[in-house]
Structure 1
Amino acid sequence: MNQTPETEEICILALMRTPGVGSVTIRQLISYCGSAKNVFKADYKKLIRIPGVGEKVVKAILTKYQMSDAAAEFENCRKLGIGLHFFTDSTYPLRLKPLYDAPIALYSKGNFNFNAGRAVGIVGTRQVSEYGKSVTESIIRELQPYNALIVSGLAYGVDIVAHRASLQHNLQTIGVMASGIDVIYPAAHKKTALDMQHNGGLVTENPLETKPDFMRFPARNRIIAGLSDVVIVIESGKKGGSLITVEFAQNYHREVYAVPGMIGNTQSEGCNGLIRDHKASIFTSVDDFINALGWVLEAAADKPTPKSLSLSFDGFTQDEGQILSMLKQKGTTQIDELAWHSGMHLNKLATLLLNLEFQGMIKSLPGKKYSLI
């Protein structure tokens, strides 16, 4: 009988299948052991000393019983044309990499760019009103010139309206799922899900054949927030998944906007509450956030680069030059992403950014973003 090939990818999948082990714990294990393969090579004494790793988890890792299932899943994904994006890969979404609780791996199907220059998360109630539908479709229409990636959850209501409007206006759209990539939920959206794969697609962190259990939806919502530059809540009651998405978006320093509704309308209580409590800015049009995010239309972006961006970084320290070079290459960038790519501690990076701002080289933008002047 052939032994299961314990590649790094298969070992990561095996850790994801280990009871009691989530994305934060997997990062901890890999950080201490150097790789997922080394986690399974480690002995009890080494594993039990890792902070946050208890005896049950250590014993589950040492059995390696999950390795064969992980190998089979890896092969099934290859056969079915399902993409696998591990957090150590270059194909992993850059917006997610700096997040402490980001998925260790993502499954994908379709044709889209995780790292599109602009990404908008659109969420809301499953019982969307005609007003909510109209606003959602209007937002998508206004976003078309900006070639934004539309991120939502494939659910009834606002989600599916956003996906279908994106297809109509030829914008890439991603449906983040609370199930396995091969389990379309709700089944009524299967045709739309298939259509999305021609200009967009599906994404999940869950293994194949995973059913959409209730507890998986909040985890799904954090991915929607993480993949987006800005999250717009169309309609929401006092409670619901949209408000959970907002909490994640705020933790990730994403811009949040809420569409106001009539006083007393239960479908707008959540949105009105977000605005009242200063947890979201009021949304009246796409213009509300394009300036805050530093977006420009493609025609403007194609103009010759201003002379100020052709500058030399002589006279700056090595660290300052590194920051300026990254901002020149990437454009407007969130501080967590600068920290990730530079390898600098956030405290040090914040000091350098402040100094560069005083020198008139960069400017700070809402959402802890920075750009060259």
Structure 2
Amino acid sequence: MNEEKLLAILRLQKSKAIGDILAKKLIVNVGDVEQVFKEKSATLQKINGIGANALKHLFDKKNIEFAQSELKYIQDNTIAYSYFLEDDYPKNLLNCIDSPILLFKGGNINLNNDKIISIVGTRNMSSYGRDFCNKLIEELAEHNPIIVSGFAYGVDICAHKAAIKNNLQTIAVLAHGFEQIYPKIHKKYINQVNENGGFFTEFWSEEQPLRENFLKRNRIVAGISKATIIIESAEKGGSLVTADIANSYDRDVFALPGRASDMYSKGCNNLIKNNRAELLTSADDIVKLLNWDIKENPKKTIQKQLFIELNENEQKIYDLLNQKGQQLLDVISLECNIPIYQLSSILLQMEMKGVLKPLPGKLFELI
């Protein structure tokens, strides 16, 4: 990615009153992130959600200075990053409408493995929860999953350590920038995590671990994985927020049950009771529900209809999906330069022709 483009992304990310959803909408509608700041205000105001306040912050000159400073930090420290329109962006996060437009990363993260699970829970972990977490990850090790968590006290760090012990990749999602670590006592685990996976954060280098940042962080923990596992939680807590977000993303949620009298089992018990999570008693529950126990067979050859006639726009879409695989609706719109309002009907026609099929989360792939 060239410097001008990265600077534009950082500038957009820094703009107050413009969150990730609106940022993506801007990029898709004008065609490119750099064009956002070259477009006339009158044109931008026609985009749903762009009001006077958003425009005011979008063109705030202070954001240029902030973005230039962060760009220098990224270059000086060789910080890696993933942009939501590039191939190395976590595929599961693409399904999440509010996922970050830019993620910073460190370590040796490899997301080619599709078996990704998040494990979260209370910071006040009991011996019951700790023993279960360790045993669960040990039993799952034969399936080689990636273990995601938030690097916090209790369940989080237990999950990371158990993953490392079982030679599994583990990813820690931070609620702050790379210039500090929270909690400080976990600095001793940084090298181990980097060697066996790495770190993700959407926050700039100097960003502190504020309360609201942990809540934002939770959506990445929930969105990056196929399933979220809650191991012990009080009646209220951050892990329950993560479970709610995972449910909103239509992801599987599991919860470890406990005694009705135990304070740090009430949250899990309530999730199960209200059908917001599957009851979790062993690794087999995860393996079966996520179909990890089904051995992969050679793909059956599907005879495609020959000589299907495609118009110019349909051919663009076909070529994109053929080259890059399944893609998000907004990405197809941007890559093929077709407005969303036109794209939906084109995709429907291609579906009726038997060329492609829709997937959950506004994804599409060729048949």
TM-score tier, shorter chain, comes to 0.7 to 0.9
Determine if contact 2:26/2:36 at 8 Å carries over to the other structure. Answer: yes
1:292 and 2:289 correspond: yes
**C-alpha separation between the residues in 2 aligned to 1:219 and 1:369?**
24
**C-alpha separation between the residues in 2 aligned to 1:230 and 1:64?**
41
Amino acid of the structure 2 residue aligned with 1:25: L
Determine if contact 1:176/1:204 at 8 Å carries over to the other structure. Answer: yes
Determine if contact 1:8/1:36 at 8 Å carries over to the other structure. Answer: yes
- Picking from 303, 309, 313, the partner of 2:304 is 313
**Could you say which residue in structure 1 is the equivalent of 2:54?**
57
What does 1:70-81 correspond to in 2, within 5 Å? Answer: 70-81=67-78
**Could you say which residue in structure 2 is the equivalent of 1:66?**
63
**Could you say which residue in structure 2 is the equivalent of 1:168?**
165
What does 1:55-204 correspond to in 2, within 5 Å? Answer: 55-204=52-201
- Measured against aligned partners, the alpha-carbon deviations of 1:303-345 in whole angstroms (never above 9, x if no partner) come to xx44x623433479799xx99xx9xx98xx9xxx686788785
Worse overlay, 242-251 or 51-60: 51-60
**C-alpha separation between the residues in 1 aligned to 2:7 and 2:290?**
39
**Could you say which residue in structure 1 is the equivalent of 2:230?**
233
**C-alpha separation between the residues in 2 aligned to 1:278 and 1:257?**
10
Amino acid of the structure 1 residue aligned with 2:107: G
**C-alpha separation between the residues in 2 aligned to 1:261 and 1:339?**
42
**Could you say which residue in structure 1 is the equivalent of 2:262?**
265
What does 1:308-347 correspond to in 2, within 5 Å? Answer: 309-314=300-305, 345=344
Amino acid of the structure 1 residue aligned with 2:289: A
What does 1:35-54 correspond to in 2, within 5 Å? Answer: 35-54=32-51
Determine if contact 1:77/1:84 at 8 Å carries over to the other structure. Answer: no
**C-alpha separation between the residues in 1 aligned to 2:309 and 2:202?**
38
- Could you say what secondary structure the match of 1:63 adopts? coil
What does 1:18-33 correspond to in 2, within 5 Å? Answer: 18-33=15-30
Determine if contact 2:121/2:156 at 8 Å carries over to the other structure. Answer: yes
**C-alpha separation between the residues in 2 aligned to 1:239 and 1:202?**
27
Amino acid of the structure 2 residue aligned with 1:100: I
**C-alpha separation between the residues in 2 aligned to 1:318 and 1:188?**
62
CA separation of 1:345 and 1:235: change in aligned 2, threshold 3 A: farther
**Could you say which residue in structure 2 is the equivalent of 1:205?**
202
Determine if contact 2:121/2:154 at 8 Å carries over to the other structure. Answer: yes
- Could you say what secondary structure the match of 1:228 adopts? coil
**C-alpha separation between the residues in 2 aligned to 1:216 and 1:46?**
33
**C-alpha separation between the residues in 1 aligned to 2:136 and 2:220?**
21
Amino acid of the structure 1 residue aligned with 2:254: Y
> Sequence identity of aligned pairs in percent?
36
Query: Aligned-pair distance for 1:275?
Result: 0.5
- Picking from 13, 20, 36, the partner of 1:16 is 13
Worse overlay, 273-282 or 72-81: 72-81
Determine if contact 2:95/2:328 at 8 Å carries over to the other structure. Answer: no
Determine if contact 1:40/1:64 at 8 Å carries over to the other structure. Answer: no
> Normalising to structure 1: TM-score of the pair?
0.82
**C-alpha separation between the residues in 2 aligned to 1:37 and 1:282?**
47
**C-alpha separation between the residues in 1 aligned to 2:208 and 2:33?**
26
Determine if contact 1:218/1:241 at 8 Å carries over to the other structure. Answer: yes
**Could you say which residue in structure 1 is the equivalent of 2:339?**
none
- Could you say what secondary structure the match of 2:93 adopts? coil
**C-alpha separation between the residues in 2 aligned to 1:369 and 1:134?**
39
Determine if contact 1:133/1:158 at 8 Å carries over to the other structure. Answer: yes
Query: Aligned-pair distance for 1:59?
Result: 2.1
Determine if contact 2:108/2:194 at 8 Å carries over to the other structure. Answer: yes
- Measured against aligned partners, the alpha-carbon deviations of 1:154-174 in whole angstroms (never above 9, x if no partner) come to 010000000011111111101
> Normalising to structure 2: TM-score of the pair?
0.83
Aligned-residue Cα RMSD (Å) equals 3.4
CA separation of 1:36 and 1:134: change in aligned 2, threshold 3 A: same
CA separation of 1:111 and 1:253: change in aligned 2, threshold 3 A: same
CA separation of 1:41 and 1:20: change in aligned 2, threshold 3 A: same
Query: Aligned-pair distance for 1:181?
Result: 2.3
- Measured against aligned partners, the alpha-carbon deviations of 1:186-245 in whole angstroms (never above 9, x if no partner) come to 111111122100011111111111001101111100100101111110000110011110
**C-alpha separation between the residues in 1 aligned to 2:301 and 2:218?**
40
Determine if contact 1:224/1:245 at 8 Å carries over to the other structure. Answer: yes
Determine if contact 1:148/1:171 at 8 Å carries over to the other structure. Answer: yes
Query: Aligned-pair distance for 1:352?
Result: 6.0
**C-alpha separation between the residues in 1 aligned to 2:361 and 2:29?**
32
- Could you say what secondary structure the match of 2:203 adopts? coil
**C-alpha separation between the residues in 1 aligned to 2:48 and 2:240?**
32
Query: Aligned-pair distance for 1:264?
Result: 1.2
- Picking from 211, 215, 218, the partner of 1:218 is 215
